[in-house]
Amino acid sequence: MESHLQHNPDLTSSVIFGLGLVYMVLFFMNAAWVRRSYAVDGNFRLNLGGLLGKGQEIPVAAIWAFYAFMLLMVSIAHLTGTGNPQSFLLKMPEWMKQPINWLSDPRWFFIGSTAVFIGMIVLRTVWTTATAGWVLLNISLLFMAFSITDYDFRQIVGKPDNVPIVAMLYIVGYFTWLYFRKSVDNDKRRAEGRPLFEQEKNEKVLTWPDLVYTELICMIIVTAVLIAWGIVLQAPLEEPASAAKTPNPSKAPWYFLGLQEMLVYFDPWMAGVVLPSVILVGLMAIPYIDFNKLGNGYYTFNERKFAVSTFLFGFLPLWVAMIVLGTFLRGPNWNFFSPYEYWDVHKLELLNNVNVSEWFWLNLMNQQLPVAPAGASTPMQIYTILLREWLGLVLVVAYLFVLPPIMAATVFRKFFMRMGFLRYMVLANLMLMMMSLPIKMVLRWVARLKYIVAIPEWFFNI
């Protein structure tokens, strides 16, 4: 009763019941895992700091069994505790929300996702074991389920539109895990001088029935899933389209949210035209740039460190993470909202950013910005603009034209030697283009920088 009188209730009967079902599913999953663990994992010795004397041999599966039992208890508690949602205790406490909210600030979010990315590569042997994968899956599911008990998190993650994004998180996670698992295996085989997995277990198969039959089955299953999805999650009826009143926030389709996030840092023509084109062209150019003959037809990381890391950096922190950020963390007025924060339209953020020219002329030189006198001739105007923006222009030119030779001489020396000038320059420029996004982000956060070059007269801003 009275849940409609509650403003934004964290828990309602239906949420508790639904979570009960989720925990039940999780219980069954882990019950199955107990069986696997019992067969595979063996025992460990428990002595409880000498309490058990020499200790006791306990199968690892017992821990899983205990965990599964806890899940069952939690599930039952949920399924029977729907009567009074207001006093239900199993919900995310405020002290847990605070650090997560704090961590999801875009700065920390980006730094964190980059750190996770690096950690992922460094610790690839650790997290690609089956048990580690299972633990990660459990943690992520528990985190989701626990977070659902927060009204604001539920509103945004539970929105029918956002279901693909949640699915994407798990799909991307799974395939990344799978890639690294296979690569680690192959790299280990290489190091030990054993044949590669692909060579040892020849996986070449017949088109029929092995490929086509599988594809057919996949097709059928996907169709069934889509139908079920269509029945269970009805398309929401939203406001009538209106030019007079646009939705707030106005969000692009989920797959373009990375682009939309770029709009925060770049001028529309950069974020909307130049960078997407570069991404497409860059992806097309990869086969021509790639000089590394290794890694064809099998999984490997060690043999293609640069290629894989660069691609994954562009794909995971700069694309997928941006989509996640744009979907879950960007709210009204495109303001940033933490996962457990109410999307209040009244929130304001400081948006008074400065251009390089302003910083140079106003702050450093303590002068007015150069302005062409009224009625000045075109060359004069051009001159004034160039004068005003000289520092930004120099920086950009330096970034695009001075940095590649320096890199060729230093970090990319080997590459330059093997690739030749043209291919190297293409690679270097693509790299620089990609890096311009994180650089611009950092500059915005650190120096409140708006544009490096700002020539609104010509609609040219960088």
Partner 1 sequence: MPANEEYLRSPKLMHRVFCGSALLLLLTTIWMMWADYNDEWRTYQRKAFHYQAERLKARETTLTADKQHEAKVKELEQKKVDATKQTADQLAALAELHSKFEEIDKDKDGKISYEDIPEEFKVGEKAQKFRELLKGDFDRLASMNPGSSEKLLLTLADFPTESQRKKAVQVARDKESNHLRELKLERAKRDVARADYNLGIRDNLDMKALEKRFTDAESRVQKMEVEFAELKLQTIEAKMSLAVITGALDQVTKELVAEQAAIGLIHAAAAKIEPQSGTLQAFKRSMMLVPIIEGFNSPERPIQDWMPGLQFTLGGMTNVARFDRCRTCHMSIDVVDDSITTSVAGAFPAGKAGEKGKFPQPYSSHPNLGLYLGATSPHPLPKFGCTVCHEGQGSGTTVTNASHTPNDPVEMERWAKDHKWFDNHFWERPMLPKRFEEASCIKCHVNVVELGVNEKFGPTAPKVVKGHDLIQTYGCFGCHEISGYDGNKIIGPDLRLEPTTAEEAAEIAKDPLQVAGKLRKVGPSLRHLASKANSGFVSHWTEEPKRFRPTTRMPQFFKLDNQSDDMAAKYNPVEIAAMSHYLLTKSEKLDTLSPIEGYKPNAERGRELFATKGCVVCHTHQDVPGLAAEFGPELSKVHAKLREGKLGFDWLYTWIREPERHHPRTKMPHLFLDGEGTGDKYVDPAADIAAFLLKLEGAPADFKPTQTYETPEVPDAVLDELVTYFLMKVLTKSQVDVVMKTGKYPLPASVIKGDEIELAAGSDEDFRTRKMSYLGRKTISRYGCYGCHDIPNFEKARPIGTALQDWGKKDRSRLAFEHIHEYLHHHGQAGLGVIVDTVDAGAAARLKLDAPRGVRVAKAKKAEFKTDDVIVAIDGLAVNSMADYNELLDRTVVGSNVAVSVWRNGHLLESPIAIKADTSMLERVEDGISRASRGDITNPVADERERSAAFYYESLTHHGRPGFLWQKLRQPRSYDYKTIETKAYDDRLRMPKFPFTEEEIDAIATFVVGLVAEPPSAEYLYNPGGAKGAVIKGERLIQQFNCSACHMLELPKIRYGADLESITASDTAVEYPEAIALLKKLRPVQNALTGEMKTVKGKSLPIIQFHGMVSSYPDPEDSPDEQEYIADSWDFLNVAGKELFPTSKFIFPAANLDRIDPARGGQYAEWLVKRLVANQTAKEAGLAWQMSPPPLYKQGTKVQTPWLFNFLRNPGRIRHTTVLRMPKFNMSDSDAQALANYFAAVDGTEFPYQLIAEREPEYLNEKNHEFHTAFKDKKEGYLQESWKMLNAPLCIKCHSVAGRQVAINDPKTDIRGPNLELAAERLKPDWTLLWLYRPNWITPYTSMPSPLPPQQPGAQPRFPEIFGGDGLRQTISLRDALVNYYKLMETEGKVSPQPQPQPAAAGGND
User: Residue 205, interface with partner 1 (CB under 8 A)?
Assistant: yes
Q: Under a CB-based contact definition with an 8 Å cutoff, are residues 435 and 403 in contact?
A: no
Nearer to partner 1, 83 or 240 (CB): 240
Nearer to partner 1, 5 or 51 (CB): 5
User: Residue 2, interface with partner 1 (CB under 8 A)?
Assistant: yes
Both tokens of residue 43? Answer: 């025992």
Distance CA 188, CA 186 (A): 5
User: Residue 237, interface with partner 1 (CB under 8 A)?
Assistant: yes
User: Residue 126, interface with partner 1 (CB under 8 A)?
Assistant: no
Q: Under a CB-based contact definition with an 8 Å cutoff, are residues 160 and 236 in contact?
A: yes
Distance CA 143, CA 137 (A): 10
Cβ 90 to partner 1, closest distance in Å? 23
> Can you tell me which of 235, 245, 366, 458 binds partner 1, judged by CB under 8 A?
245
Question: Which residue carries 């070059």 as its tokens?
Answer: 453
Both tokens of residue 121? Answer: 């590569």
> Can you tell me which of 70, 116, 178, 228 binds partner 1, judged by CB under 8 A?
228
User: Residue 227, interface with partner 1 (CB under 8 A)?
Assistant: yes
User: Residue 201, interface with partner 1 (CB under 8 A)?
Assistant: no
Question: Which residue carries 């729907």 as its tokens?
Answer: 82
Q: Under a CB-based contact definition with an 8 Å cutoff, are residues 92 and 146 in contact?
A: yes
User: Residue 238, interface with partner 1 (CB under 8 A)?
Assistant: yes
Query: Which range of residues in 31-39, 116-124, 126-134, 226-234 is near partner 1 by CB under 8 A?
Result: 226-234
User: Residue 53, interface with partner 1 (CB under 8 A)?
Assistant: no
Site residues for partner 1, 340-359, by CB under 8 A, read 345
Distance CA 462, CA 452 (A): 6
Question: Which residue carries 């460094």 as its tokens?
Answer: 122
Start-end of H helices in 316-411? 321-324, 356-358, 378-388, 390-397, 403-409
CA 156 to mean position of chain CA atoms: 17
Nearer to partner 1, 140 or 246 (CB): 246
Cβ 207 to partner 1, closest distance in Å? 8
User: Residue 422, interface with partner 1 (CB under 8 A)?
Assistant: no
Nearer to partner 1, 54 or 245 (CB): 245
Sort residue 53 into left (φ over 0), alpha (ψ -120 to 50) or beta: left
- Return phi, psi of residue 45, to 5°: -100, 125
Query: Which range of residues in 94-102, 136-144, 229-237, 347-355 is near partner 1 by CB under 8 A?
Result: 229-237
Cβ 18 to partner 1, closest distance in Å? 13
Binding residues for partner 1, rule: CB under 8 A, are: 1-5, 7, 202-206, 209-210, 213-214, 216-217, 220-221, 223-224, 227-228, 230-231, 236-245, 248, 345
